[in-house]
Amino acid sequence: MRHVQGRARRAGAALAAVLTWAGLLAGCSSDGSGPLGMGGALVKPPAPEDVIRVTPDDGSKGVRPGERFQVRVPGGRLEKVTVVRSQDAQETPVPGRISEDGLSWRPDGNGLALAARYTVDVVALDAHGRRSARHTTFTTYVPDERFIGYVTPENRATVGTGMIVSLSFSREIENRAAVESAVHVTARPPVEIRPHWFGKGRLDFRPEQYWKPGTEVTVDLDLRDVEGARGVYGLQDKTFTFTVGRSQVSLVDAARHTMAVRRDGQLLTTVPITAGAPKHPTYNGKMVVMDMLEVTRMNSRTVGFGGEYDIPDVPHAMKLTDSGTFLHGNYWAPDAPGQTNVSHGCVGLMDVKGGSSDTPAGWFFDRSLVGDVIEVVNSKDKTVAPDNGLGGWNMAWKEWKAGSAVK
């Protein structure tokens, strides 16, 4: 009896083996895409990296911005590609598109970001309809050197109609066209705004005429990862805005010792002034108020003179040039305004020690904005240089536009 049972068990095992192989054969396709290939040989499923090719390679480090970033399959089609960029503790989806034939994917935009980690997840079908998935990561180059642009005016400021947008860079810029293309200055209502380079470290923007009152100006700095010089990349991705207030343009006549203050085209008043003495005349031309200080110290040694003066408490000081020209209150020469020019190049208004709103200097200071225009005429000096302070209004529009690096 045991002998018969043993034979029955062996017969059952043989039958099971036959059924198993039959099932495997039934699952094979004629082209060898199933578990068995041509001739009945077992076929190992392809590895995900053979089906889905990702460039840069998985685990790559120090990938440069200009290197190729692509996902592709040699056959079949891509079903889904998801890419995430991790940068500055933030994760951002990277948009891209699959080609019409389904064989490749490329990102939108202008290349890889610096100092970032990219995560790539892909699902694809191979040429035989088998689905594969792949997960890869790589990191991009972390530059040793960066540059930033210091923007004038300040964010959310209300300024006068003569304000010029000025960027002073922390490093000299060799690739000026690339940097210029990454800075966008727009206005509402719209007006043509053009850039002008002063050397390799400063880029200014202005319209042809003074801004219209009420204009809203936006400065977009898309400088992050822009190569400004060899191995030196931008750091900023920021937006600044400012609003243009009322128009105020004041005309200083150095020969007549007067300043006529006009608000929105109407004469407000004319005040007596003292300008630069014959040995130190005031610049002619259009200057823009760059800064306003209730009180400041003025020392002749800081502007290239000898020890001719050192006044620790100059009231109502308004900076007009980088070289040291100010419009300020003058209490130490009370008889000069309206009569004679005694300064070292500044424009002085009547004031008292400690400053007062009841004096011409105090009155003018209280009614002024950064960005207001002070124009000097009839002085014995040359016209202020366009890059001395915000002096760009002294340059003809054609010449200003010629200063762009983007041709």
Same domain membership, residue 239 and residue 319: no
Dig out the tokens for 122 from the structure. 């892909």
Least confident of 31-45, 145-159, 278-292: 31-45
Residues 335, 303 share a domain: yes
- For residue 29, name the pLDDT band (cuts at 50, 70, 90): very low
* Per-residue model confidence (pLDDT) at position 46: 83
Classify residue 219: in a domain, yes or no. Answer: yes
> Per-residue pLDDT tens for 314-342?
999 999 999 999 999 999 999 999 999 99
Q: According to the model, what pLDDT value does residue 300 have?
A: 75
Tell me, yes or no, whether 287 and 349 share the same domain: yes
List, for residues 168-178, the tens digit of each pLDDT value: 999 999 999 99
CA pair distance 76, 162, nearest whole angstrom: 62
Helix (H), strand (E), coil (C) string for 114-181 = CCCEEEEEEEEECCCCCEEEEEEEEEECCCCEEECEEEECCCCEEECCCCCEEEEECCCCCCHHHHHH
Cα distance between residue 381 and residue 282, in whole Å: 6
> For position 299, what pLDDT does the model report?
83
User: Is 360 found in the same domain as 228?
Assistant: no
The Cα–Cα gap between 22 and 19 comes to 5
346 is known as an active-site residue = yes
Does 73 fall in a domain?
yes
At 14, the pLDDT band (50, 70, 90 cuts) reads: very low
Q: Is 292 left (phi over 0), alpha (psi -120 to 50) or beta?
A: beta
| 164 domain-assigned | yes
Mean of pLDDT values over 226-251: 96
Q: What is the pLDDT of residue 10?
A: 41
> 12 lies in a domain?
no
- For the domain that residue 118 is a member of, what is the CATH number? 2.60.40.3780
User: What's the pLDDT tens digit per position in 246-274?
Assistant: 999 999 999 999 999 999 999 999 999 99
Domain assignment of residue 209, given as a range: 145-245
Task: Please state the rounded mean pLDDT for residues 119-137.
Answer: 94
**Model pTM?**
0.78
The reply to whether 285 and 372 lie within a common domain is yes
Residue 189 inside a domain? The answer is yes
Whether 328 is catalytic: yes
Average pLDDT over residues 110-117: 89
**Of 196, 316, 328, 344, which is the active-site residue?**
328
pLDDT score of 60 = 96
Read off the pLDDT band of 43 (50, 70, 90).
low
Show which of 139, 165, 182 is a domain's final residue. 139
Do the Cβ atoms of 347 and 327 come closer than 8 Å? Answer: yes
Nearest Cα neighbor of 238 from 142, 164, 154 is 154
Examine the domain organization and report whether 257 and 227 are in the same domain: no
CA–CA distance, 348 with 101 (Å, rounded to integer): 75
Same domain, 188 and 310: no
Give a yes or no: residue 27 inside a domain: no
If one counts the domains in the chain, the total is 3
Structure tokens at 323: 């070289």
Mean of the per-residue pLDDT values for the chain? Answer: 89
Asked if residue 34 belongs to a domain, the reply is no
Based on the fold, state whether residues 233 and 329 are members of the same structural domain. no
Please indicate, yes or no, whether residues 374 and 290 belong to a single structural domain of this protein: yes
